[in-house]
Amino acid sequence: MYFAQLYTPGLAHCSYVIGSGTECVVVDPARYIEQYLDQAKEFNMEIAAVFETHLHADFVSGHMELAEKTGAKIYAPKIANCGFPHHALADEEEFTVGNLRFKLLETPGHTPDCSVCVVTDLERGDEPVLVFTGDTLLVGDVGRPDLFPNREEELAEKLFSSLGRLKQLPDHTEVYPAHGMGSLCGRALSAKLWSTIGTERRHNYALQHTDLELFKKDLLEGMPAAPDHFARCTEINRQGPDLVGELAEVRPYDAAELSGAENESIAVLDTRAFHSFAAAHVPNSYSISKYSNLPTFAGWVIPPEDKLILVLENKSDLETVKKNLHYVGLDNIAGYLEGSIEEWIKAGLPVNTIETISVHRLRDWLSEESPLVLDNRAAGEWENGHIEGTIHAAAPDVRDRYPEWETEKPVAVLCNTSNRSMTAASLLKQRNFKRVINVLGGTTAWAAAGYSLQTDGDKK
């Protein structure tokens, strides 16, 4: 048996190539497939099949790309009701590649269509050697059941039963999930990217529960917000994504052309460092730095129907930025600003700025008066320690919560690095807030300066 785990940064996504003899299977592929072609070549194997454990919510899958490129057969759970050509596997249905037997088990809960794939190496015997658990069972966690509105109780109950099926596997069975730490498909994923059924049975909180009601209560409390693109990516994967090679070509826009397109339905995405965006940016643009979690936050806040124009730090960033956007279904990328912000400035076009202050100035300001300061981190980060007198408002939530605050008064924003807070700052500027101030270094700099954080979890 040949085996490789492949990791996609930014998505915290794990995919796999597993083979025997002259053929291999790709499990839960990312949209860009070069890594799988290279791995199959290294194994000296042909890609015979693609297996999807479920309709992924946080990224657009590469199953259609692989099928088109290699002729591989796509296997997907029958309960997913996929709209593309594939073999729909029923519960406990099997298929064989080389000496490897693949068996699908329906394990709904994270999503209605979640399944796992139990693999047996027939050269070693009839017991399973590993299981691809998708997002049903993660290392130290399980897949969140709250992605479908008003169905979280129902799906949590199904997940409880599904985990019971997995507990029946032998302890030595290796566990390979679709995500690791950093993914929003769960709540508290481990940094480890694989485990065993025995280890998870002993240490995974979700597998400790024997009471359904306590399981549901434990699982559903404190779940992080689900990004907007999760529902969109699920449906894209169900119908079959457009092939990357057939997407519209991305071309340069000069400053005058971009300025003249202001009345069109466009979104300008600036991926430069937060301090560069603060110094000068195209009015009404989004700040989502390439140094932050670009795919997640772009998928979360940028309307997918808008024509997207990029402002890059360097033209060499284009391919990487495109990939990160395509991963989350933002396919409507029309072009990039040629010459970046420097050409925009030289053309004499309007420029916006974001004020920045140090944590020392923020501390003085808080002691002098009661300014509006928004903490743009996730809820769990806020609860673990925040600056007294600040208000929790996760960066994407600013889009909906902005009416709570007065546009004429100054508002300071912070996170733990200045990246998410600059995203929040750009959203506030789009909504006509007159003076938006980014606190450099956020809570990281605050703590490093020796200032205290309160941990009572109160949201003032």
- Which domains, and CATH codes, for the chain? 2-234 (3.60.15.10), 247-346 (3.40.250.10), 355-448 (3.40.250.10)
β-pairing, 372-375 with 391-392? parallel
Above 50 in pLDDT, residue 198?
A: yes
Above 80 in pLDDT, residue 186?
A: no
Specify the 3-state DSSP secondary structure of 50: strand
Burial classification of residue 371, based on how many CB atoms lie within 10 Å of its CB (0-12 exposed, 13-18 middle, 19 or more buried): middle
Phi, psi for 409 (deg, rounded to 5): -95, 150
Which residues lie below 8 Å from residue 276, measured CB to CB, with a gap of 6+? 313, 341
Q: How many CB atoms lie within 10 A of CB 454?
A: 12
SS (H, E, C) 210-237: CCHHHHHHHHHCCCCCCCCHHHHHHHHH
Percent residues over pLDDT 90 in the chain: 88
Contact 192, 5 (CB under 8 A): no
Average pLDDT, the chain: 94
Above 70 in pLDDT, residue 445?
A: yes
Give the residue-averaged pLDDT of 82-103: 97
pLDDT of 166 reads 96
Cα–Cα distance measured from residue 70 to residue 51, given in angstroms and rounded to the nearest whole number: 14
Give the residue-averaged pLDDT of 90-102: 97
pLDDT of 458 reads 45
pLDDT of 258 reads 93
Contact 416, 443 (CB under 8 A): yes
Cα–Cα distance measured from residue 169 to residue 125, given in angstroms and rounded to the nearest whole number: 15
Give, as one character, the DSSP assignment of residue 281.
B
β-pairing, 391-392 with 411-414? unpaired
pLDDT of 254 reads 94
Q: pTM of the prediction?
A: 0.92
pLDDT one-digit tens code per residue, 147-180: 888 899 999 999 999 999 999 999 999 999 999 9
Give the residue-averaged pLDDT of 32-48: 97
Contact 431, 402 (CB under 8 A): yes
Q: Give the angle subtended at the CA of 62 by the CAs of 243 and 190, to the nearest 5°.
A: 150
β-pairing, 115-121 with 130-134? antiparallel
Q: How far is CA 91 from the centre of its chain?
A: 28
pLDDT of 327 reads 96
pLDDT of 456 reads 63
Count, residues in the chain: 460
Above 70 in pLDDT, residue 460?
A: no
pLDDT one-digit tens code per residue, 133-150: 999 999 999 999 988 888
Specify the 3-state DSSP secondary structure of 19: strand
